[in-house]
């Protein structure tokens, strides 16, 4: 058997990606924090321009949502340890800029579908913190009536299509939702989120092939947090440059800094434009890092504290707050006011969940079939 050529280190070329030139970057070592720092320094100047391009109200909303998701999940961790939340619970702490930036780039009637690490996506899509917390508590006031729990949040009213526990299972479903939009002739787009471990699933490849072949308005968002449970990317993937996988199916793709909420928003905006105007799919590899364990029961023996702390220096909330302060968009008083409102919203959600009744046992027999 002939020896395979080493994977090429170049990204999909900018000129092959209409409208995407600015965000295409040189390849970096996947887990070299020093290099990521360097990238960030370069992006600092761009940051100022990015901030100026977005209205203040939107900037404050992005910050509010990221802080809300962070504090909400800190509350989840507390409630989990008190036994109020049972089953699996996968926190999103460290990755908030991805869901918030991406979902800020779509309309209310667009679709979002994602994995089990979805508390943040649900909140960013418009499911209330009350309904998410009640769902985690298994209470009837939850968005899935207390029958889904942490991994199965759904809310059709805001086109939030879950919450899926099978790794990569949501990718063909998201492709199908995008097919539905095109079939019905609407201009709705679908954001389909998944982790980098899902990219090794056949369903990912089948979906990308069909999406490009049939020109489906789907933006595939790989949240590359560099670990699938306790397995690092470099132990599991032959071609670790996820955005390159788009080449096999001729999709446009981009590599994005997932610690930068505005960079995420801009990349998704470009994907959305392609999808809405021309029914074209996009693959985005958004590089991020989870600060907590895979789930609440993860002892975390597969990585060092020093590695986590290195990434925490690029905490997306700290970075965004600092650039808003630096650029005079907010001052300390505005920040304190946001923190105060967030605290109230989170406390309210915990009270709501505590007080919400358990589902009636007869609910066991409802919502069993898709057409009910
Ligand atoms: C088909 C399938 N295989 C294995 C599992 C067990 N499992 C749950 S999460 C996970 C890792 C997924 O990692 P990734 O896709 O990177 O998402 P992340 O947890 O990092 O957000 C695995 C292997 C599963 N749920 N489904
Ligand atoms: Mg992962």
Of 197, 199, 200, 311, best ligand 1 pocket probe by most atoms within 8 Å of the beta carbon: 197
- Structural contact between residues 95 and 256, judged by C-beta atoms closer than 8 angstroms: no
Segment holding 325, helix H or strand E: helix 316-326
- Give the pLDDT of residue 40: 66
pLDDT exceeds 70 at position 311: yes
Distance CA 78, CA 63 (A): 23
pLDDT tens-digit readout, 231-263:
999 999 999 999 999 999 999 999 999 999 999
Tokens of 103: 């979902």
Q: Does ligand 1 have an atom closer than 6 angstroms to the CB of 165?
A: yes
CA 319 / ligand 2 centre spacing (Å): 22
Residue 360 inside a domain? The answer is: no
Residue 365 inside a domain? The answer is: no
pLDDT exceeds 70 at position 51: yes
pLDDT exceeds 60 at position 119: yes
Residue 363 inside a domain? The answer is: no
Average pLDDT for 276-301 = 96
- Give the pLDDT of residue 38: 77
| Ordered DSSP codes for 180-240 | HHHHHT----EEEEEEGGGGGSHHHHHHHHHHHHTT--EEEEEEE-SEETTEEHHHH-SS-
Q: Which residues are placed with Cβ below 5 angstroms of ligand 2, an ion?
A: 195-196, 225, 228
CA 227 / ligand 1 centre spacing (Å): 9
Residue 264 inside a domain? The answer is: yes
On the 0-12 / 13-18 / 19+ scale of CB atoms within 10 A, 65 is: buried
Residue 232 inside a domain? The answer is: no
pLDDT tens-digit readout, 131-188:
999 999 999 999 999 999 999 999 999 999 999 999 999 999 999 999 999 999 999 9
Instruction: Determine how many CB atoms are found less than 10 A away from the CB of residue 62.
Output: 24
- Give the pLDDT of residue 371: 59
| Ordered DSSP codes for 253-298 | EEEEETT-HHHHHHHHHHHHHHHHHH---EEEEEE---SS-SSTT-
- The total number of structural domains that make up the chain: 1
Q: 39's torsion region: left (phi>0), alpha (psi -120 to 50) or beta? A: alpha
Of 224, 228, 258, best ligand 1 pocket probe by most atoms within 8 Å of the beta carbon: 228
Q: What is the mean pLDDT of the chain?
A: 91
Picking from 13-22, 58-67, 290-299, 315-324, which range would have the lowest pLDDT averaged per residue?
13-22
370 confidence band (pLDDT: 50, 70, 90): low
pLDDT tens-digit readout, 183-239:
999 999 999 999 999 999 999 999 999 999 999 999 999 999 999 999 999 999 999
368 confidence band (pLDDT: 50, 70, 90): confident
pLDDT exceeds 50 at position 298: yes
Residue 366 inside a domain? The answer is: no
Q: Is the pTM value of this prediction over 0.85? A: yes
- Give the pLDDT of residue 3: 33
Which ligand does the CA of 116 lie closest to? 1
Q: Whose CA is nearest to atom 12 of ligand 1?
A: 228
Residue 361 inside a domain? The answer is: no
Calculate what percentage of the chain has a pLDDT beyond 70. 90
Distance CA 253, CA 256 (A): 10
- Structural contact between residues 113 and 192, judged by C-beta atoms closer than 8 angstroms: yes
Q: Does ligand 1 have an atom closer than 6 angstroms to the CB of 195?
A: yes
Instruction: Determine how many CB atoms are found less than 10 A away from the CB of residue 87.
Output: 13
CATH of the domain at 102: 3.40.50.970
On the 0-12 / 13-18 / 19+ scale of CB atoms within 10 A, 350 is: buried
Distance CA 189, CA 108 (A): 10
Which residues form the domain of 74? Answer: 18-227+237-293+304-355
Q: Could you list the beta-strand ranges (E) of 79-159.
A: 111-115
6 confidence band (pLDDT: 50, 70, 90): very low
pLDDT exceeds 80 at position 63: yes
Residue 371 inside a domain? The answer is: no
**CA diameter of the chain:** 66
């Amino acid at each position: 058997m002939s020896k395979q050529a080493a994977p090429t280190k170049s990204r999909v070329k900018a000129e092959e990606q209409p409208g995407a030139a600015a965000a295409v970057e040189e390849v970096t070592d996947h887990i070299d924090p020093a290099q990521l720092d360097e990238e960030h320094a370069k992006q600092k100047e761009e940051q100022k321009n990015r901030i100026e391009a977005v209205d203040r109200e939107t900037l404050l909303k992005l910050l509010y949502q990221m802080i809300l998701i962070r504090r909400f999940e800190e509350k989840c961790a507390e409630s989990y340890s008190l036994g109020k939340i049972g089953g699996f619970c996968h926190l999103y702490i460290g990755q908030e800029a991805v869901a918030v930036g991406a979902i800020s780039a779509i309309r209310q009637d667009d679709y979002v579908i994602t994995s089990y690490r979805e508390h943040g996506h649900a909140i960013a899509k418009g499911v209330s913190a009350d309904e998410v917390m009640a769902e985690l508590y298994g209470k009837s006031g939850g968005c899935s009536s207390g029958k889904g729990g942490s991994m199965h949040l759904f809310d059709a009213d805001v086109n939030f299509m879950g919450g899926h526990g099978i790794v990569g299972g949501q990718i063909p479903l998201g492709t199908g939702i995008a097919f539905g939009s095109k079939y019905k002739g609407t201009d709705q787009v679908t954001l389909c989120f998944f982790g980098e471990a899902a990219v090794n699933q056949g369903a990912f490849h089948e979906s990308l092939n069909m999406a490009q072949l049939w020109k489906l308005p789907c933006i595939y968002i790989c949240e590359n947090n560099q670990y699938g449970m306790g397995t690092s990317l470099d132990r599991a993937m032959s071609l670790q440059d996820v955005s390159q996988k788009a080449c096999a199916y001729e999709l446009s793709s981009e590599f994005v800094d997932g610690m930068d909420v505005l960079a995420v928003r801009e990349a998704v905006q470009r994907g959305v434009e392609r999808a809405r105007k021309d029914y074209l799919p996009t693959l985005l590899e958004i590089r991020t890092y989870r600060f907590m364990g895979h789930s609440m029961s993860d002892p975390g023996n597969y990585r060092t504290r020093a590695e986590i702390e290195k990434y925490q220096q690029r905490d997306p909330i700290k970075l965004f707050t600092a650039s808003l302060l630096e650029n005079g968009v907010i001052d300390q008083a505005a920040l304190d006011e946001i923190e105060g409102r967030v605290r109230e919203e989170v406390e309210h959600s915990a009270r709501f969940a505590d007080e919400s009744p358990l589902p009636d046992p007869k609910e066991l027999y409802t919502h069993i079939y898709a057409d009910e």
